[in-house]
Every structure is written in C-alpha cells, then in structure tokens.
Amino acid sequence: MSESTNPVQDAELAALDRLVGTWKVTGGAEGTVTYRWLEGGHFLIQDVDLEQAGERIRGMEVIGRERPFGAEEAGPDLKSRFYGNKGETLDYVYEMDGDVLVIWGGEKGSPAYMRSTFNEAGDVLAGAWVYPGGGGYDTTSTRITPADADR
C-alpha cells in the first residue's frame, strides 16, 4: 500500500492488495478494470469498463467489510457492491485463499461465482464465472500497469 493510505490491518482484506493496478480482461467480457485503495485502507475500489454480449458495462465497485451505523465491529465477510451505468446494484462476497480468488454472487456459497487463480508472477488471473443453469464463461485478467503506478 502506498504511504498515502493507512496500512490494512485486516489480513483477509490485505490479501486483495495483489489486485491493485489496471488489468486487461478477456473472455466472456472484454475491457479493463482498475483496483485502487480508498484512503484509510478499509475499502478497495474497482473501476469497470467492459463490453459483454454487445453491451457496455461501466461502473464502480466498493469492496470491504460492512460496518453499519452504530456497529462497533465490522462483519465477517468481505462484501462488495457494484454500481453500474444501467442503474444496477450487484452484491458480491470476496474470498482469497492463497493464489485462488473466489467472488460469490450475492452471498458466500451462492451457485453464481467466479473462481480464478493467479499465475506464479501474480500478473495473470485466469478462471471462469459459473452461473446456475449454465451461461458462465472463461475469463482472464492480465495486469497492464504495475500496482505501484496506480497508487
């Protein structure tokens, strides 16, 4: 993390630091995504500019632990909400286990999810989106800017 943000004390959230940077996405969706830390290190922001099935998908996602008004502690899951250019709000749960990233659609354990694996160098993330009833797709993200360039 850069000096302008506080170090992330949450080990699970800190594991997502390897996403920071700009990535070229290929497969069932094509375009770029950029991950950056919100100042303070509690939330990771993803800026999305993709095309899927002939439609432009632009938006932003906020990833971190929920801590509702009045709560003293944050929740157990790394949750996110995507805000899209068509007015959609999509919720996800992120899990990182070693080199494997799972993004659950909705809640952890959902039948809709993406499971991807980082290569040894950490600059390629390849896997697939799985949807109940079919319709999933392979996806590969390749880092196009180093993490330090986006901080």
Q: Which pLDDT belongs to residue 139? A: 98
Whether residue 5 is contained in a domain is answered as: no
Contact 127, 114 (CB under 8 A): yes
Residue 149: what are its φ and ψ, rounded to 5°?
-70, -20
Contact 23, 141 (CB under 8 A): yes
Whole-angstrom CA distances from 64 to 37, 39, 50, 111 are 10, 13, 22, 22
Whether residue 4 is contained in a domain is answered as: no
CA 76 from chain centre, in angstroms, equals 17
* Structural domains of the chain, count: 1
Helix (H, G, I), strand (E, B) or coil at 147: helix
* pLDDT tens by residue, 48-103: 999 999 999 999 999 999 999 999 999 999 999 999 999 999 999 999 999 999 99
Q: What is the chain's mean pLDDT, rounded?
A: 92
- Containing H/E element for 36? strand 30-37
Whether residue 2 is contained in a domain is answered as: no
Whether residue 1 is contained in a domain is answered as: no
Tokens representing 82 are: 């995507």
More confident residue, 5 or 75: 75
CATH number reported for the structural domain that contains residue 60 in this entry: 2.40.128.20
Pairing mode, if any, of strands 21-27 and 30-37?
antiparallel
Residue 84: give the domain boundaries: 11-148
Mean pLDDT lowest among 2-16, 83-97, 137-151: 2-16
Q: Which pLDDT belongs to residue 145? A: 86
Task: Write down the pTM of the prediction.
Answer: 0.89
Mean pLDDT lowest among 8-17, 34-43, 56-65: 8-17
